[in-house]
Copies of this chain bind each other. A is one copy, B any other.
Amino acid sequence: MPADLISAMRDECPLEAGLHIIGGRWKGAILYCLTGGSRRYNELRRLMPQVTQRMMTLQLRELEASGVVHREVFPSVPPCVEYSLTELGRSLEPALMSLRDWGERYQQMTSDRRQP
């Protein structure tokens, strides 16, 4: 199926639209880190050592393209790039926190099952 049709379909359902923005492989974790304030590129990499450089860049660029993350380059030597949430990104926080809270309860439930 063509990519534009997929987008069209996702555009129809607001929930799918929202999930499409935050649902990328590492986007949840990245957004989670950025709720604590702006972060430099390598700072994010240290916070998420599992994420390869390639993926970190890709996911950040997609979040930037979606308008939820702001990328600011300080032309210094050595270079410095800071990432932060845009206002639109910060408006995501209630939804993010709600899902995180649910995730916490879910984690507790499943760990209870392993140790009854």
Interface residues of A (CB under 8 A from B): 1, 9, 11, 13-19, 21-23, 28-29, 31-32, 50, 88, 91-92, 94-96, 98-107, 109
Contacts and interface: CB of A to CB of B under 8 A. Distances in A.
* Copies of this chain, count: 2
A23 B21 contact: no
A19 B25 CA distance: 9
Contact of A100 (B9, B14, B50, B106): B14
Contacts of A102: 18, 91-92, 94-95
19 contacts: A13-B28, A14-B100, A14-B107, A15-B28, A15-B29, A15-B99, A15-B103, A16-B103, A18-B100, A18-B102, A19-B28, A21-B103, A22-B99, A88-B106, A94-B98, A95-B101, A95-B102, A98-B98, A99-B99
A19 B96 CA distance: 10
A13 B51 CA distance: 14
6 smallest A-B Cβ distances: which pairs? Answer: A18-B103, A14-B103, A95-B98, A17-B103, A18-B99, A15-B100
